């Protein structure tokens, strides 16, 4: 330890050691504060957007976004759900036949889809197809100053751009999740009954006997939570793409789109666990 001529500790060395000791806590604190600030900002962003849903002339914009987010995602949802159900039917039959319980294939396929795979895979597919496009679209409008032009014309960008997208997502996700479940159960039927020779009546009776309304409602609650998360994150990332510190211009839009998809998928899985723990 360094000392001065009078025998006292050197102030510079003391300050440096204190700084080295506190630096990890400072970094963790700044990261946490940054996340809390973004969470609060995104929450206000969502709240203000939902309030503007009930303004005049919003219905036509919402219908347009329903087509863009919901109807145009139908094909990929049906394709993924069909093969997901077929794989579940194949794996369930392979596992249950060892215990002589192949009659429960329908129950396992249906409950796996309705309670878990349906909402999660639907949300991820919509994020990949529509969420990324929404983030890129809003980001381009931001860096090309179209959103600033809306302010100049006294048009609220949240009401004009964001609110219809969030509302359409909240409506579309449960509908597409239900479609995913139905097509997935059909895929399990193809795999289990048509290809592996299970009894058709046993397959559907096991589903009817064991799937309860609470299972369906829990899955739809998850889809609503995922809709709010995906729509908010994708719109928020695009809307504030110009404020990114790591890039500017077109690169900022690309990074904002990537961030929107990655953050949405991570939050889908995290919130899936949280919601499941609350509903069970």
On the question of pLDDT at 3 being above 70, the answer is no
Averaged pLDDT, 143-147: 89
In angstroms, rounded to a whole number, what is the distance separating the alpha carbons of residues 232 and 242? 17
- In 3D space, the residue among 176, 202, 229, 228 whose CA is nearest the CA of residue 70 turns out to be 176
DSSP label at 196? T
What tens digit of pLDDT does each residue of 152-172 get? 898 888 988 999 999 999 999
Please give the Cα distance from 56 to 18 (Å, whole number).
Answer: 59
How much is the CA Rg of the chain, to the nearest whole Å? 25
The pLDDT, as a whole number, for residue 6 is 53
Average pLDDT score, the chain:
88
**What pLDDT, in 10s, does the model give residues 70-82?**
999 999 999 999 9
Query: pLDDT grade, residue 11 (50/70/90)?
Result: low
Cα–Cα nearest to 195, from 92, 77, 78 = 92
Residues in the chain: 280
Backbone CA torsion sign across 150, 153, 156, 162? negative
- Residue 272 exposed, middle or buried by CB count within 10 Å (0-12, 13-18, 19+): middle
Q: Which of 119-133, 154-168, 210-224, 242-256 has the lowest average pLDDT?
A: 242-256
pLDDT mean over 9-30: 72
pLDDT at residue 98 in the model: 82
């Amino acid at each position: 330890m360094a000392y001065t001529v009078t025998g006292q500790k050197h102030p510079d060395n003391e300050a440096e050691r204190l700084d080295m000791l506190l630096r990890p806590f400072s970094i963790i604190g700044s990261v946490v504060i940054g996340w809390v600030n973004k969470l609060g900002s995104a929450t206000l962003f969502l709240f203000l957007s939902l309030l503007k849903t009930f303004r005049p002339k919003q219905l036509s914009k919402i219908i347009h976004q329903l087509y863009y987010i919901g109807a145009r995602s139908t094909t990929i949802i049906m394709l993924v759900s069909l093969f997901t159900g077929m794989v579940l039917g194949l794996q369930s039959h392979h596992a249950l036949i060892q215990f002589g319980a192949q009659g429960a294939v329908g129950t396992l396929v249906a409950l796996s889809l309705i309670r878990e795979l349906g909402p999660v895979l639907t949300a991820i597919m919509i994020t990949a197809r529509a969420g990324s496009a929404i983030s890129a679209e809003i980001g381009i409008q931001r860096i090309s100053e179209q959103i600033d032009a809306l302010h100049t014309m006294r048009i609220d960008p949240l009401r004009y751009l964001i609110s219809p997208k969030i509302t359409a997502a909240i409506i579309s996700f449960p509908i597409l999740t239900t479609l995913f479940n139905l097509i997935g159960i059909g895929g399990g039927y193809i795999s289990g009954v048509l290809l592996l020779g299970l009894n058709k009546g046993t397959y559907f009776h096991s589903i009817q006997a064991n799937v309860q309304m609470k299972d369906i409602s829990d899955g739809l609650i998850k889809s609503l939570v995922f809709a709010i998360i995906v729509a908010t994150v994708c719109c928020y990332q695009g809307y504030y793409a110009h404020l990114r510190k790591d890039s500017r211009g077109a690169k900022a839009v690309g990074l904002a789109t990537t961030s929107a998809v990655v953050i949405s998928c991570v939050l889908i899985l995290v919130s899936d666990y949280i919601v499941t723990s609350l509903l069970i």
